[in-house]
Structure formats: structure tokens, C-alpha cells
Amino acid sequence: MLFLLIAFQNEKSNAATGNVELIEQNWPFNGIFGRFDKASLQRGFKVYSEVCAACHGLRYVSYRDLAGIGYSSDEIKAIAGQYEVKDGPNDEGDMYFRDAKMSDKFVEPYENDQIARLANNGSYPPDLSLIVKARAGGADYIYSLLNGYKEFPENFEASDGMYYNEYYPGKQIAMPSPIMDEIVEFDDGTEATHLQIARDVTSFLAWTAEPELENRKSLGVKTLFFLILITIMLLGVKRKVWKNLE
């Protein structure tokens, strides 16, 4: 499915967007006390599964990691069971296919990079596991890119098979806009507008890039409070030990 092609550039923010200011969002996972919105993550996972997964993989994410966004073991088993993975060799020395299990990584859409390029007119659709961390601007850049498609301006020298995106380096991208209003139907009844879809799938990709974020921040806050407490205790001990000395 060509409309899912994407080939991001690893550029600095200004270079990546051609000096166009990114669309800044108030992401709930930002800041020291930031946390992911699990409802948004589940909606974003649905967008990825139904729209992005045909071309883009998540090779660093296991199905069991979906427990982190609120899915139960039975739900995860059902999700994984929709895919097959190549395994083996068996007792006869042959490779075989089996249903994916919770412990498996997300099944790749193509067997290898060459097949991926052949299926997409030579453009390679990159893995999205770490895409938010790998791009200058992070989540804001991905969100902006998804909302940056426009018609080519007059006198713009467009290459064949390319699409105009004001946030992409060179403003030409091989992927047409992958989302539109109502391209998916959210299970929780949230209206699937273009902006909502872009925000939810961006949140999901931010989670895939750092699924341990909440645990890391919780540990950091606990460590900070511990250091403050131990500092107060040590100051109290110091005053008690030295209070009778001039």
C-alpha cells in the first residue's frame, strides 16, 4: 500500500522542517511527572495496526509490551494470534510457520528490505519503533508531518511520484498523506478526525520509543525525594553533633 510509504530524514529541527515552526502539542507524557494517556495509546495502536502496519514495522516491540498500554493477557494473545512467524527448524530440520505468541516481536510487514523497496517503488518504509526519538522535534515533528500535506505551490519543481509536505526536508516526500477523517473507527467512540488520529498515533509511537518512560520517571522522582530526605537528616545530625562546639 503506497499511501503508507515514509522515509524520514535524520536532520536538525530547522533543517528538517525548512525553518517552518513545528506544531507544538501539550503532550501528557512530557515533563518530570508526565504519564501516557492509555486510552490515546490504544487508539493510536489501532491506527498503527489498520493503517501503518501494512508497510511499517515495530521490530523492537514485543506483543507482551502491549500490557503497558492497558491490554489484558487474553487480548494480547488474540492480537498476536492474528499473525504468523517463521520458526524452526523442527525435528525434520524444516522451518515452519506458527501463530505469533506474546513473547514474539511484532511481525514485520516484509521479509526483507529488498522486497519492501520493490513493493513501494524503490522507497523503503522505515521501522517506526524508535522514530520519535530518532527525529529532531520528536513527537511534535511526527504530528506536524502528518498534518503538513498540501498541494504543490506554483512553480515548485516536483519530482515524479512525490507529495508536498511543508515539514519534510526538501518539502517532497514519497508517502502521500496516510490518514484522513474516519479512516478508522475507534472502539471507545472517540470521533476519528484527522487531527485526533494524528495525535493518537503520534502518542503511540512516542510510547514504542520509550515504553519504560513511566517507570523511569517514577524511579527518578523517588530517588529525588530520597536524596532530599537524606540531606535533611544529615543536616539534622550535623547540627546535633556540632551544637555544643563554638
Residue range 2-61+108-211, CATH number: 1.10.760.10
- State residue 239's pLDDT score: 83
The structure's pTM equals: 0.85
Q: Which of 1, 213, 6 is nearest to 127 (CA)?
A: 6
What pLDDT is stored for residue 9 in this prediction? 39
Which residues are CB-neighbours of 222 under 8 A, at least 6 positions away? none
Nearest to 171 by CA among 193, 189, 197, 153: 153
pLDDT at 12: 41
Bridge partners of 28?
Answer: none
Q: pLDDT tens-digit profile of 114-163?
A: 999 988 888 899 999 999 999 999 999 999 999 999 999 999 998 888 99
Q: CA-to-CA distance for 10 and 74, rounded, in angstroms?
A: 38
Residues 155, 163 contacting (CB under 8 angstroms): no
Q: Could you give the CA distance from residue 187 to residue 46 in angstroms, rounded to a whole number?
A: 9
Q: Go through the chain and tell me how many residues it has.
A: 246
Dist CA 95 CA 193 (whole Å): 44
Domain ranges of the chain: 2-61+108-211, 212-246
Confidence at residue 18, expressed as pLDDT on a 0 to 100 scale? 55
Regions of the chain with pLDDT less than 70:
1-19, 245-246
Q: Is 126 exposed, middle or buried (0-12, 13-18, 19+ CB in 10 A)?
A: middle
